[in-house]
Structure 1
Amino acid sequence: MNILEVIQLKYLEFSLKEQKIAAYILENSQYIENMNITIFAKNCNVSTATVTRFCQKINCQSFANLKIMISSINLSSSSITTKNDPLYKVHSFYKDIINTTKNIVNIDDLKILYNKIKNAKRIYIYGLGSSGLTGTEFMLRLIRMGFHCQAITDSHLMIINSSILNQNDLVIALSCSGETLDVINAINLAKNNKCFVASITSFPTSTLALNSDFFIITPNSKLLTKNSFINSQFSTIYIIDVLTTIFLEEEEMRKKMDTTINTILNNQKK
């Protein structure tokens, strides 16, 4: 992982002032190379001593060393991000998110989740807001491959559902922050009923990750851009695409997928 990816993963471990520094770096990495520590600290509204402590916390000897590590990252889209055309800006953002996700996520972890899905009697996907929309997309993919799956996007229904789960079921919880209280309460109840809980979140030290039996970490796009409506779920969708690809390598899954496609097409002709 490069230094920007390390900063994202450690974000929740930082103090509030250090989080200011982390957020500023992630949003403005292309401009930091030409700053001295005094100007950088002023832009982050912290002291130079706080900047130095932050650097040490991410295993950089100094602010100068941090700048070297940032400048050494091969951002192939760096020339694109300077353009004002929204097409280039969004393309650059998505490209960076995909590259970061690929670097952070381990294929072996995805295969663990793949096996949990295959062996579960029933699968329930929990998510609120944008995560709920992603959960619904995930559900549709799994249903079309023959799985018994339901996306639950209402907090009350999550609690109701969690209360009747058992060891044969699987819950997959989605939350970028990992601090969505309703989702956390629901997965804790599911675990009390011996249900296996997997989560997809952005921070390994978040409450959701720490309370899950297994978790997959994805980059948090909100740390990279706070002033736009660019899809905050893009990295999670990428993970779902990869999982779907793994499933469709099996002939049985492909046949079920083809059956649903043909059924839809035949129904539209009537």
Structure 2
Amino acid sequence: MRILTQLSEMQTFTPNEKSIAAYILMQKENMLQMNIQELAKATYTSHSAINRLTHKLGLTGFKEFIIKLATEFQQNTQNISSIDPNYPFGLDESPLQVAKEIAALMKETIDKNFAFMDDELLSQTANRLDQAKRIFIYALGDSQIRAKSFQNKLIKINKYVVIATELYEWAYHTVNLTEEDCAIFLTYHGKSPIYLQAAQHFTRKKIPFITITATHSSELAKLSPICIQVPNDEVKHAKIGTFSSQIAFDYVLNVIYSCIYKISYSKNKKSTIDSLKSSYIDELMNDE
């Protein structure tokens, strides 16, 4: 998870650590010029309190914290968008201009999404799904279309994948999952009560699950052993279409699939080729 996101959420922070985090968030533009002594003095805390906070962020100390912070600032500067993800084109634009704006939106969304990527998190996700006996995906609406595409890819490398929310049978699937399975919640806002209900059941039964969402502070995200964040750019009820969210989901799922594929590259390459050959033979046999 990004440093600034962790600081804003303040999960498991002590009062001193919350005070330090709040100061950093308010003084972001000055932080890169400050040393640990100056930060301790400004927040009325100590070197050890600041170092404890950096350790909670998964860092080795203040020096690494400043390096990571500088990287995030640079990424944020590069990702300043001139495209409105909710209304990427206007009434008077030509079809070619619309095409240009959508292309720009796709590129910017993927660039933003890449900035959220974490090597260890992707590795954990891929390994968890690769080892799962069965994979159940919870997705509704447009997100279910992305889920079906992901399902189709995984089937070709012999993964057992079910869209749990298809035909509204999510409750039956939920109670039938075991510790050998893995669930995925694909949800932009993460507010669906059925997702939270399923996640609470998985938590009680120690069933692994992964959440892909734009809302990292939701109850669902907090319950998730693995949570992958996408950019939170869309307004729920004020947009032409779900362009940004679905581009982000598609990108993340493609990355996850690629990481799973890479684990058993030669075996999966053979499975994919065999699947394509089988499909081709079926087409020839059914051709009238």
Fold shared per TM-score above 0.5: yes
1:241 matches 2:245: no
Structure 1 residues 208 and 155 mapped into 2: Cα distance closer, same or farther (>3 Å)? farther
Structure 1 residues 89 and 122 mapped into 2: Cα distance closer, same or farther (>3 Å)? same
Contact 2:79 2:111 in 1 (8 A): no
Matched residue, 2:271:
256
Q: Aligned to 1:140, which of 138, 152, 157?
A: 152
Q: How many residues align?
A: 217
Deviation at 1:268, TM superposition (A): 1.4
Q: Which runs of no fewer than 5 residues in structure 1 stay unpaired?
A: 14-54, 63-68
Distance 1:61 1:248 in 2: 40
Deviation at 1:73, TM superposition (A): 2.0
1:185 matches 2:189: no
Distance 2:144 2:136 in 1: 12
Structure 1 residues 94 and 60 mapped into 2: Cα distance closer, same or farther (>3 Å)? farther
Distance 1:186 1:160 in 2: 10
1:115 matches 2:130: no
Secondary structure of the structure 2 residue equivalent to 1:111: helix
Matched residue, 1:20:
none
1:171 matches 2:183: yes
Structure 1 residues 257 and 61 mapped into 2: Cα distance closer, same or farther (>3 Å)? closer
Contact 1:123 1:148 in 2 (8 A): yes
Structure 1 residues 171 and 123 mapped into 2: Cα distance closer, same or farther (>3 Å)? same
Secondary structure of the structure 2 residue equivalent to 1:233: helix
Letter of the 2:158 counterpart: G
Identity %: 19
Deviation at 1:78, TM superposition (A): 4.6
1:73 matches 2:77: yes
Matched residue, 1:51:
none
Q: Which runs of no fewer than 5 residues in structure 2 stay unpaired?
A: 10-21, 30-72
Structure 1 residues 221 and 253 mapped into 2: Cα distance closer, same or farther (>3 Å)? farther
Letter of the 1:170 counterpart: C
Deviation at 1:221, TM superposition (A): 3.9
Deviation at 1:82, TM superposition (A): 9.4
Deviation at 1:252, TM superposition (A): 0.6
Distance 1:104 1:149 in 2: 26
Letter of the 1:209 counterpart: A
How big is each residue's C-alpha offset from its partner over 1:42-86, in whole Å with a ceiling of 9 and x where there is no partner?
xxxxxxxxxxxxx97843479xxxxxx89x82359759x899411
Distance 1:59 1:104 in 2: 22
Letter of the 2:247 counterpart: F
How big is each residue's C-alpha offset from its partner over 1:147-181, in whole Å with a ceiling of 9 and x where there is no partner?
11111224841111111222111111111101111
TM-score, structure 2 normalization: 0.65
Structure 1 residues 224 and 193 mapped into 2: Cα distance closer, same or farther (>3 Å)? closer
Superposition map of 1:197-212 within 5 A: 197-212=209-224
Q: CA RMSD in A?
A: 3.4
Tell which structure's C-alpha radius of gyration is larger: 2
